Structure 1
Amino acid sequence: MTLVVTGGSRGIGAAICVLAAARGDDVVVNYSGDPAPAEAVAEQVRAAGRQALAFRADVSAEDDVRALFAAAAELGPVTGLVNNAAITGNTPGRLEDYEVGVVRRTLDVNVTGVFLCCREAVRRMSTRHGGDGGAIVNISSTAARTGSAGEWVHYAASKAAVDTLTFGLAQEVAADGIRVNAVRPGMIDTGLHAAAGLPDRMAKYAPQIPLGRPGQPAEIAEAVWFLLSEASSFTTGAVLEVGGGR
């Protein structure tokens, strides 16, 4: 499989890239900012004996996404896509305090970006277009269910849109040999929280998690891999919750 992972240079995305390589995939590591972490992940993929390409692209920009998938073809036909790239927009706050530009940018990356990448993947994977089929996994969030009140309501809304897109697209392309599913992570111990100005967020919410701790990126990667693999061959349109029970 040639797998495209958006936002693949850090956190959950990086864990997905490394696990996919260990399971036998060639990987395109998409990133939008600093190339160094993406190249480091690509080196881990190569160390596992697989091909890797680190490619800069803003998933909300149509031309960038087209270029990303054109570059991915250098490794072979794309048969897997993980839509992991997402932003919260800024530090947490109430909806009435948000600037519209922040909300628009969040929706552009988190929703339009998923749409664009899914579209390019379908155009290559679909048996209607001469492809061999494939699998798409969208990364959602438990915020789509909880609403993230007082923090990131706009982000939660973007992830709810991802859930709906997942189900609708799954119905649309099932006969074309493409399965579309989502993973809905809960509180995961990544650098996202500190970057948003909340370094203590994990400690704050851990007591509310029935399993008593935040999750790790590798645990989300395993769930994603299941949905990419033939182990889930009769699964499409599903949203797999991986949130420790919260």
Structure 2
Amino acid sequence: MTEGRGVVLVTGGSRGIGAAASLALAADGWDVGVNYRTQADEAARVVKACEQRGGRAIAVQADVTEADQIERLFDAVTAELGPISAVINNAGVVSPAGRVAEYDAERLDRVFRINAISAFLVAGAAVRRMSTAYGGDGGVIVNVSSRAAVLGSAGEYVDYAASKAAVDALTTGLANEVAKEGVRVLGVRPGLIQTDIHEPGRLDRLGATPPLARPGKPEEVAEVIAFLASTRSSYMTGTTVDVSGGR
């Protein structure tokens, strides 16, 4: 049963959770704009897989830390597929594991720019196109956070955790700003998920620590994202859902 209602843009859609979300959304009836920064071949494979699920899809290169490229991204997806009615705010990065005392300004700038600042910029662009206050027809923004935002990631990625905590605050605050403008804002907090964001051996070391005693699959997060983007979650906004095996 398909549930999609139009065009969805997925940032960081060429791999990991973003790629899985693109496929789940295509299966749910959406036309999908797959954003990537450098991985053109991977994005093309995601587009082909989306099309095999029955919908239209395109890949668009853009660096979502740059405001002008975000505008170009939204314009390109709209021109090719139609007005965007959902945005999956997914682009993210980690740096090598380390303690806070070892971080430098360059590392912090990179992590916060990609994980937090880009999320704000993409959400702002989405609101300007979807909010009824700007002449839009409404829509949904789903911000991809991390369970690290709650747990803190001590000794490894406290900067990543803090940047994702900023995404959680964005979800709560923006949802309240635009609730009466036809835009719902939701979040998902994945836990330990089998993607290449982890350093070698990390999942082997930590994968059995959740109560469910295994790491999650990108597809398990993607199904929640697809639900949040759909009308099945129509009475939800300002909520962030943990998909973390109980961790």
TM-score, L = length of structure 2: 0.96
CA distance in 2, matches of 1:232, 1:34: 32
Q: In structure 2, what is the equivalent of residue 79 of structure 1?
A: 85
Deviation at 1:131, TM superposition (A): 1.1
CA distance in 2, matches of 1:95, 1:126: 39
Deviation at 1:129, TM superposition (A): 1.5
Q: In structure 2, what is the equivalent of residue 37 of structure 1?
A: 42
Deviation at 1:49, TM superposition (A): 2.2
Q: In structure 2, what is the equivalent of residue 243 of structure 1?
A: 244
Deviation at 1:59, TM superposition (A): 0.8
Listed as ranges, the gaps of 5+ residues in structure 1 are none
Residue 4 (str. 1) matches residue 9 (str. 2):
yes
Q: Which amino acid aligns with 1:215?
A: G
Residue 207 (str. 1) matches residue 230 (str. 2):
no
CA distance in 2, matches of 1:28, 1:127: 22
Deviation at 1:206, TM superposition (A): 2.2
- What are the residue-to-residue correspondences of 1:81-160 with 2, within 5 Å? 81-88=87-94, 90-160=95-165
Residue 50 (str. 1) matches residue 55 (str. 2):
yes
Listed as ranges, the gaps of 5+ residues in structure 2 are 1-5
Q: In structure 1, what is the equivalent of residue 197 of structure 2?
A: 192
Q: Which amino acid aligns with 2:221?
A: I
Q: In structure 1, what is the equivalent of residue 3 of structure 2?
A: none
CA distance in 1, matches of 2:208, 2:48: 37
Q: In structure 2, what is the equivalent of residue 226 of structure 1?
A: 227
Q: In structure 1, what is the equivalent of residue 178 of structure 2?
A: 173
Deviation at 1:207, TM superposition (A): 2.7
Q: Which amino acid aligns with 1:79?
A: S
Deviates more, 1:47-56 or 1:233-242: 47-56
Deviation at 1:192, TM superposition (A): 1.2
CA distance in 2, matches of 1:65, 1:52: 18
Indicate the RMSD between aligned Cα atoms, in angstroms: 0.8
Is the 2:119–2:143 Cα contact (8 Å) retained in structure 1? Answer: yes
Q: Which amino acid aligns with 1:236?
A: T
Q: In structure 2, what is the equivalent of residue 62 of structure 1?
A: 67
CA distance in 1, matches of 2:66, 2:161: 22
CA distance in 2, matches of 1:207, 1:3: 34
Residue 24 (str. 1) matches residue 25 (str. 2):
no
Per-residue displacement from partner, 1:95-120 (whole Å, max 9, x unpaired)?
11122111101111111101111111
Is the 2:208–2:215 Cα contact (8 Å) retained in structure 1? Answer: no
Deviates more, 1:137-146 or 1:90-99: 90-99
Deviation at 1:172, TM superposition (A): 0.3
CA distance in 1, matches of 2:39, 2:18: 15
CA distance in 2, matches of 1:34, 1:15: 15
Q: Which amino acid aligns with 2:35?
A: N
Per-residue displacement from partner, 1:133-189 (whole Å, max 9, x unpaired)?
000100000100010010011110000000001000000000000000100000001
Q: Secondary structure at the match of 1:29?
A: strand
CA distance in 2, matches of 1:228, 1:69: 17
CA distance in 2, matches of 1:40, 1:99: 36
Q: Which amino acid aligns with 1:78?
A: I
